[in-house]
A and B are shown apart, each in its own frame.
Chain A
C-alpha cells in the first residue's frame, strides 16, 4: 500500500523535520516496514551534504566482523573524498552504518559519487546542497529519533512509509530515492510500475545505475535522466504519465521545487492542501490534519494531474 507525503513552505524555512515526522507517523498503518525522509535544509553556498550507508541495519546482527568491515568501508570512502579534493568540514553518524558528511571544495560531484559507490557495500543515499535523505527500518518516530530529525529546519520535504510488496525489507529498498547522480533530486512513490524491467533496461543502456529491485527507484533514475537532458521537472512529470505504465502517484523534490504526478487511472490516492505560504499533500487526509488541525479545504487531484510548486 505505502504512504507518501510532501510539504513545501513558500519563501521561508520551518521545522520540516518534525512536521514530516507527524505526517508520516499518521500514515504508519499504510506501511510499517520502513520510513524515509528527504528534507531540504538551508544550504550554504559551496557546501555539499552527503548521506551514505556502509551496511544494512540487518548486517549489524551478523557478528563482530561487521564492525571492522564498516571501518574499512568508511576509510575507503574518505580516501576517495581526499582523492577528489573534497574537504570534510564535519562528519556525524546517527548509527554505525549511516554517515553524514559536510563537504567543501567538491569538484565533479557525479564522478566522485560514482567512484565512492565502487566501494563494496557503500551506497550514497543523497548528495547535494540542500537535500538530506534519511531512511531506515521502523516507523517515523523511530527514524526521526534515531537521526535527530525533530529539530531539522528547511523549506520542504517528502517522505514515505513503506509496505514492502515487490522487494526486500531493507534500507536499500526503502524510499525516498535520490536521483543519482543528480544533486538534490529525490522521489517517493505509491503504486506499481508494470513496465519496470523494460524501462530499467532502457535506462541501464543509457548508463544509469540501479541499486535495488524496487520499481520506485526507476522513477528517480527516469527523473534524473530527464533533468540531465534539460527537460524541466514539470515536463518530466507529464512525460512519465505516458511513458510509464501502471498505477502510481509520486512526488519529486528538487533543491527549490516540489512536484506531483498521478497516473491515467488515478488509482492511487493523494489529498492536497494549498494556501499562500504552505502546500501539504499526503496519501490520506489524516496526515495533513496531523500538522494542520484547524478546518481547511483539501481536494483530490484527478487522473493525469501534474503540479509543481516553488519554495
Chain B
C-alpha cells in the first residue's frame, strides 16, 4: 500500500482511513488477521489529527479543585498548545483521569487516581506516582503506563497493546479479556487473573490467586510466586529460551528483575480444550441435517 499524506487522510471517511492506515477488522475464524502497521507508511505511529507536541515543553496542573471533565479537557487544550509533558498534581483519587489520549504525550500523575484511569489510550507514556483504582488502562491500544504503588481489580481489562506496569500488587481479574499487549505486576495478583484472555502476555512477579487463566483462549501468563489454583483450561507449559530472554528484557526495562533471575517463573497457557470455533450450534446442525 502506498503511503498517504495527512491532508489526504483528513479528507477521507473513517472507513477509508482504516483501510489507508493498514488496519483491518479482525475475522473471528480462529485465526485472526492482525495488521497494525503498514511497513510502507513511513513510521506513521500517530493519528494524522494528533497534535504535534514537544516533550521538552512541560507544564504542571493543580487538579485539586477541578472535575475529571475539566482535567481531561485541560490535557487536550495543553496538547493543542504543544505541551508534550504534562504533570497533574493532587489528583485525590479522581476517576477517569487521562482517558482517551490518542497521541504521544508524557503524562505524569503525582498521586493516586480512581477508577478507569488512563483507559482507551493509544500512544502516551504515563507515570502514576501513586495507586490506581479499578480498571486502570482498560482497553489501551499502545503506549506505556507505569504505576508506582498498588492497583485495584480488573487491571488492564481488555488491553490490546502497549505495556501496563504496576510495581505493587493488583486486585482480582487482572487482564480479564486482554487481547494483546503486556501487563507486568511487581507484587501479587488476585483471583481470576487472565480470565478469558485472548492474546498478549501477563507477568506477575509475586503470587496469583485462585482460578488463574480461567477459560483463556490464548496468550501467555508468567507467575514468579505461587499459584493458588489454575482455572478451567489453563495449563502449565515449558518456558522457551525466547520466553526467558523476553522476561529478562521486560523486567529489566521496568526495574522489576528479581535477584534470582527468571528461571523460577511458571508459564501458563491455554489448554485449548475449550476451543470450538468450528463446531456448529445445535440449531445449525438441525438445519444441515
CB pair A286 B131 closer than 8 Å: no
CB pair B172 A266 closer than 8 Å: yes
Q: C-beta contact mask, A264-308 vs B, less than 8 Å → 1, else 0? A: 111001010000000000001111111001010111101100000
CB pair B209 A302 closer than 8 Å: yes
CB pair A285 B133 closer than 8 Å: yes
Q: How far is the CA of A246 from the CA of B16 in the complex (A)?
A: 48
Contact partner of B131 (CB less than 8 A), chosen from A265, A293, A299, A303, is A299
Chain A residues with CB under 8 A of B173 = 266
Q: How far is the CA of A209 from the CA of B168 in the complex (A)?
A: 45
CB pair B153 A300 closer than 8 Å: yes
Distance in angstroms from B157 CB to nearest chain A CB is 14
Chain B residues with CB under 8 A of A265 = 172, 191-192
Q: How far is the CA of A297 from the CA of B191 in the complex (A)?
A: 22
Contact partner of B93 (CB less than 8 A), chosen from A286, A299, A302, is A286
B111 at the interface (CB under 8 A from A): yes
Which B residue sits closest to A29, measured CB to CB? B95
CB pair A266 B115 closer than 8 Å: no
Q: How far is the CA of A269 from the CA of B133 in the complex (A)?
A: 9
CB pair A289 B169 closer than 8 Å: no
Q: How far is the CA of A299 from the CA of B93 in the complex (A)?
A: 13
Which B residue sits closest to A282, measured CB to CB? B93
B112 at the interface (CB under 8 A from A): yes
Q: How far is the CA of A214 from the CA of B170 in the complex (A)?
A: 32
CB pair A285 B191 closer than 8 Å: no
Q: How far is the CA of A287 from the CA of B92 in the complex (A)?
A: 9
Q: How far is the CA of A10 from the CA of B228 in the complex (A)?
A: 34
The answer to whether residues A285 and B172 also contact, given A293-B92, A300-B152, A303-B191 and a CB cut-off of 8 A, is: no
Distance in angstroms from A256 CB to nearest chain B CB is 29
Which B residue sits closest to A296, measured CB to CB? B112
Distance in angstroms from B234 CB to nearest chain A CB is 17
Q: How far is the CA of A302 from the CA of B172 in the complex (A)?
A: 7
CB pair A299 B114 closer than 8 Å: no
CB pair A266 B95 closer than 8 Å: no
Chain A residues with CB under 8 A of B152 = 269, 271, 300
Q: How far is the CA of A285 from the CA of B115 in the complex (A)?
A: 9
CB pair B131 A302 closer than 8 Å: no
Q: How far is the CA of A290 from the CA of B173 in the complex (A)?
A: 27
Which A residue sits closest to B149, measured CB to CB? A297
Q: Which of the listed residues A269, A284, A300 has the most CB atoms from chain B within 10 Å of its own CB?
A: A300
B265 at the interface (CB under 8 A from A): no
Contact partner of A284 (CB less than 8 A), chosen from B114, B153, B209, is B114
CB pair B114 A266 closer than 8 Å: no
B150 at the interface (CB under 8 A from A): yes
Chain A residues with CB under 8 A of B129 = 295
Distance in angstroms from B18 CB to nearest chain A CB is 36
CB pair A295 B130 closer than 8 Å: yes
Chain A residues with CB under 8 A of B149 = 297-298
CB pair A284 B115 closer than 8 Å: yes
Residues of chain B from 176 to 190 with CB closer than 8 A to chain A in the complex = 190
CB pair B131 A285 closer than 8 Å: yes
CB pair A266 B153 closer than 8 Å: yes
Distance in angstroms from B207 CB to nearest chain A CB is 10
Q: How far is the CA of A284 from the CA of B131 in the complex (A)?
A: 12
B134 at the interface (CB under 8 A from A): yes
Q: Which of the listed residues B93, B95, B133, B191 has the most CB atoms from chain A within 10 Å of its own CB?
A: B93
Which A residue sits closest to B188, measured CB to CB? A302
Chain A residues with CB under 8 A of B92 = 286, 289-290, 293
Distance in angstroms from B69 CB to nearest chain A CB is 13
CB pair B150 A303 closer than 8 Å: no
Distance in angstroms from A89 CB to nearest chain B CB is 42
Chain B residues with CB under 8 A of A266 = 153, 171-173, 190-191
B94 at the interface (CB under 8 A from A): yes
The answer to whether residues A303 and B114 also contact, given A285-B93, A286-B92, A297-B131 and a CB cut-off of 8 A, is: no
B210 at the interface (CB under 8 A from A): yes
Which B residue sits closest to A286, measured CB to CB? B93
The answer to whether residues A297 and B94 also contact, given A266-B190, A266-B191 and a CB cut-off of 8 A, is: no
Q: Which of the listed residues A264, A284, A302 has the most CB atoms from chain B within 10 Å of its own CB?
A: A302
Chain B residues with CB under 8 A of A289 = 92-93, 112
Q: How far is the CA of A266 from the CA of B209 in the complex (A)?
A: 11
The answer to whether residues A302 and B114 also contact, given A266-B153, A285-B131 and a CB cut-off of 8 A, is: no
- Going nearest first, the 10 A-B pairs with the smallest beta carbon separation are A285-B93, A286-B93, A300-B171, A289-B93, A266-B172, A289-B92, A299-B150, A303-B191, A302-B190, A300-B152
14 contacts between A and B (CB under 8 A): A265-B191, A285-B112, A285-B113, A289-B93, A293-B90, A297-B131, A297-B150, A298-B131, A298-B149, A298-B150, A299-B169, A300-B153, A302-B171, A302-B190
Given A265-B172, A266-B171, A300-B171, 5 further pairs, Cβ under 8 A: A266-B153, A266-B190, A285-B113, A299-B169, A302-B190
